Structure formats: structure tokens, C-alpha cells
A and B are shown apart, each in its own frame.
Chain A
């Protein structure tokens, strides 16, 4: 007689709520989000502006804590964790890619990527460095500063920085938002490759239906809630 082993999802959110206080007004950004993401999934979160996509991403990345609800990321309950604990978790388990690339302008591409390793504290891993930069096609751009790179190249450096420390989850906030069609496709292909070849779990926020189409699953949000998954 055989039995199935229950695989724990890498992300589990239940009745997740987030309320921002702006002045004297409470603004509910998330009104009870339920979300399950399995390890190795490539998930898109779509929805109109102000629906809470970015807030959801920030909570899942530990940049901010939820107001109520439950969120387990790789088995860690963020609701029970302090800011310091979430920061430590993020250092080792989460990678971020942003719409505006967010590279440090004073450092070269190589140093921007190495900075992530330095902050993690495990030191420079040349094998991993070569593997990631080779895969993302930026080996010949490593000595350039961000202002010397195109948008597509900057985003690939940002992706390299996000994955260099082998995070459990890659969170991408509109990664193609500032790119033209050609570079957008390039970046999406890179994310797809990471997902397929390295089994990287990717959660991507996007307005672009073509970007969402490369994902395994699309989660739609509206007014702080998930309306379809």
C-alpha cells in the first residue's frame, strides 16, 4: 500500500490583511488574501493599480509585516517574527527584482552582485558567480557601472544580484515595467530559465498580460483580495 507525502507549500498566506495609517486615515491595502505557492512555481500576480499587489510582495519578502492573518514562507511564520528576524530571513532566502532595477550607482555590475554575497555573510563564491553571470549573459559587462548599461542589461544584473545567494524565492516587482519589448522578452526568458533549470520559485507582479503568459499560473487581485488563482 502506497501513500502520498504532503508537500508543504513554500508560501502559504491565510486571511492576510495589511492596513496603512496615513495621517488619521486607515487605508486597507490587503483585505484578506489567501495564497498558496508551491516550490518551483512561476507565478504571476496581476491586477489594476492599487489592488495590493506590491503590498503582498512586500509582506512575502519580509519588508513589512502584516496587520493580521497568517503568512508562512518556507515554513517560517512572518507574523511571529520581528523586523530583525525577517531581515535575517530575507538575507538568506529571498531575492528581489524591482521595476527600476535599483542598482547602486557607485558600484560596478560585479560589485553590485558581490554586495549581495557580502551582506549574506557567506563570502564570495566564484563558482556560483560564474554560473549566474554566464546564464544571464552579463559576463562582459561586469566592470561597467549601471549608467553604462542598457535597461535590459541593468535588469539582468539585478536578477543576478537577486539569485546569487540561491534564495528560496525570487520576488519580481514589474521587472519589465521599464523595458522595451525586446528587453522585456529577454528578461522574461531569463526568469523562465532560472525557474526551469534551477527550480527557482518566482513570484512576479505585472500589468503586462504577455509577461503573465510565460508563468505557470496567474493570480488575479482586485481591491486587496485575490479574485482568481
Chain B
């Protein structure tokens, strides 16, 4: 009977119900999209780094995990020295350049094709082939689809016109590749590299090679790719954690405040109804329970709508921005739902408490 009363009340005020449900839905969507985008960004970068097939990466001290933000202070000769270490199969230098275009900022990887192929096993070409000239470029299929780039097309990168020599399968480091020497020329970083990727003769030798590298270059930032993968999480990037936490707090606040307002105005409208329930012998706990369950019902409806909207929003995002990765996991779906429910119950608690404490005589007389 209590459930009937709750459902009847929810249906009796459709506008209030819709607004409350939408607020919770927005809250859930915001949480999932923010977490999805940030973790997608991180995980995609990590996967593409892992996709090279290297075992070790060597960067200058203080370099960012986000390669495009790293400058190029390491001499290329370091790579030659690293290649002489026992159990090292191949070393490939990479020079990163940030490319500002009308659509935003992208990262271009300047690679030495020969050493790159030895470390990574080479690209899988969906169209065309490797660089043939200094102003040839390779794009991955995701970039090509997102930007409607075709083989042979001219791309303006780093204020230069590049010829699209090949379209490669995505998943290796970057979406755009140009010859290392060209990247060095354009950035005046002659004989420099941002990072070295190292392939060992056997993966089992990775730790030994790491130890040797640390002795050779005590100031450099050297990780195995496995270590790098574990480090690429938002918990290891405090600024990102703060951002995500702040966005989640804002989202939960939206839901909490709307539910608070919704239930508060509902209590005011239904003061006499509460007096009637009290005249029938409803206890304070009964009144509190009814109000909180009503808020819970609105929240659950909002969670369901929010999850659906999140899936649609993700689809829309990926259609509009195919180079983005939005990761939505079951775990975060549960967390978003739990946050929404907790926020809603907290928001409804004060109105529920007020309602339970209403004087029945005053409530019955309320117009």
C-alpha cells in the first residue's frame, strides 16, 4: 500500500517527476562521460604505446606521460649507446611535435622507419606504403576516417604540406607519422629525440636491460612498458584525479540539490496529506520512509535514464569525434548509480525529516 501511495504521488506530478528524473540522469551521464573520457584518453594512450611492441622506454627526466607534451632534449646518440647493451635487439628514437590545426591540437611522431620496423615489427598498411620522401606522412585509419583523409591527399602539418603516403592500422603510438629527420628540421631539434623505444632479444631480459640502462643513464626516466601501463592511471596523475573528483562532486551536487528542492516543494504541497497520514496513526518513521522511498524511486528512474543517455552520448561523441575514446565500464556504471542514490537520499533527508516532524493539527489545517 505504501508503494501504491509512492507511485501514485510520483505520477500525480509529472512535471516535477520529469525534472527530478532528468537531473539525476544528467548527474549520472556527467559522471560516466567525464570518467569515460579521462580514462579513455589515458588508456588509449597507454594501449597505443604498448601497441608498438617495445619492452622499454627511455625519456628525459621529468618528461610527461603524455608524449606530445614532452620536448626533445635527448641526443640521438644515446640510442646508439643503448643499442650496444647486451640483450637489446633494437632501439628506435621518436621525436614528438604538437600540431595545432583548426580542429585542435594533435601529436605527430617523427620516426626513423628502419629502426621503427625492427622494434615494432612495422606497420600494417591499409593503403599505400612507407615514406618515400621527406614530406611524406602516414596516418592511421581512425584519423583518416575522422578527417576524411585519403591516400595521396595533401595535409598541412606543422605549417608544411605533407603527402599522405600510407594509411596504417591504428594502435601504434600515434595517429600521424612523419620522417624523423623532417621532424627534427622543422623543430630545429637536430640529432635529438623525445623518447627511445627499446626491444629486447627476449622479454625475459627486460629487467636486466633496465638495470643496465639505469646505470648508464641515472638521470633519465626509464620504464619497462609493463611499468608504464600500470602508471598510466588517473590515480598516478594527481591533476587528473582532482579534475575528475571535482566534476563528480559537481554532478552529485546537481542531483542532490534538485532532489532536495523537489522533495521540499512536494512536502509543502502535501502538508495536509501528511497530516491525514498522521491522523491515521502513521509514525514519524513511516512518513520519513515514504518520502525517502519516493526520492529513491525518482533516483532509480533517473539512473536508468542516465545510463541510457550515457550510452547514446558516447555513441554521439564517437560519431562526431572518432579519434576520442570514451570508456564506460560496468564498475563505473555501478559507482555512478550509487553516487546518484546517495546524493538523492541525502538531498531528500531534510525534507523527509521536516515532514515527519510536522504537527498533525497544523498540517491538517494547512491550506
> Chain A: residues with CB nearer than 8 A to chain B?
58, 61, 63-64, 84, 87-88, 90-92, 94, 96, 98, 102-107, 111, 114-120, 161
Contact = CB atoms under 8 A, between A and B. Distances in A.
A119 B359 contact: no
A115 B273 CA distance: 12
A115 B1 contact: yes
Interface stretch (B2-10, B72-80, B83-91, B173-181): B2-10
B9 A115 contact: no
A115 B1 CA distance: 6
B170 interface: no
Contacts of A161: 280
Contact of A64 (B1, B5, B272, B360): B360
Contacts of B275: 102
Q: What 9 A-B pairs have minimum CB-CB distances, sorted nearest first?
A: A91-B281, A118-B1, A106-B8, A106-B12, A63-B360, A90-B281, A102-B276, A96-B279, A119-B280
Contacts of B231: none
A104 B364 CA distance: 12
Interface stretch (B215-223, B251-259, B282-290): B282-290
A64 to B, nearest CB: 5
B279 A90 contact: yes
Given A58-B361, A63-B360, A63-B361, A104 B5 contact: yes
Interface in B235-293: 272-273, 275-284, 286
A88 B281 contact: yes
Contacts of B9: 106
A33 B275 CA distance: 26
Given A87-B284, A115-B280, 20 more contacts: A61-B279, A63-B279, A63-B361, A64-B360, A84-B284, A87-B282, A90-B280, A90-B281, A91-B280, A92-B281, A96-B280, A98-B364, A103-B276, A104-B5, A106-B9, A107-B4, A107-B8, A115-B5, A119-B281, A119-B282
Contacts of A98: 279, 364
A163 to B, nearest CB: 12
Contacts of B4: 107, 111
Contacts of B364: 63, 98, 102
Of residues B8, B281, B283, which shows the largest number of chain A Cβ atoms within 10 Å of its Cβ? B281
Interface residues of B, number: 25
B223 to A, nearest CB: 63
A103 B127 CA distance: 75
Of residues B12, B277, B279, which shows the largest number of chain A Cβ atoms within 10 Å of its Cβ? B279
Contacts of A114: 1
12 contacts: A63-B279, A84-B283, A87-B278, A90-B280, A102-B272, A102-B364, A103-B276, A106-B9, A114-B1, A118-B2, A119-B280, A119-B281
Interface of B: 1-2, 4-5, 8-9, 11-12, 272-273, 275-284, 286, 359-361, 364
Contacts of A116: 280
Nearest to B281: A91
B12 A119 contact: no
A120 B2 CA distance: 12
Contacts of A103: 276
Contacts of B273: 104
Of residues A64, A103, A119, which shows the largest number of chain B Cβ atoms within 10 Å of its Cβ? A119
A92 B283 CA distance: 12
A142 to B, nearest CB: 14
B280 A106 contact: no
Nearest to A90: B281
A193 B272 CA distance: 29
Contacts of B1: 111, 114-115, 117-118
Of residues B1, B275, B283, B284, which shows the largest number of chain A Cβ atoms within 10 Å of its Cβ? B1
A194 B316 CA distance: 67
B15 to A, nearest CB: 15
Contacts of B359: 64
A103 B9 CA distance: 14
Nearest to A173: B364
A106 B361 contact: no
B283 A106 contact: no
B6 to A, nearest CB: 10
Contacts of A94: 281
Of residues A64, A106, A116, which shows the largest number of chain B Cβ atoms within 10 Å of its Cβ? A106
A141 to B, nearest CB: 18
A119 B5 contact: no
B283 A107 contact: no
Contacts of B277: 115, 119
A63 B282 CA distance: 11
A63 B2 contact: no
Contacts of A117: 1
B149 to A, nearest CB: 60
Nearest to A161: B280
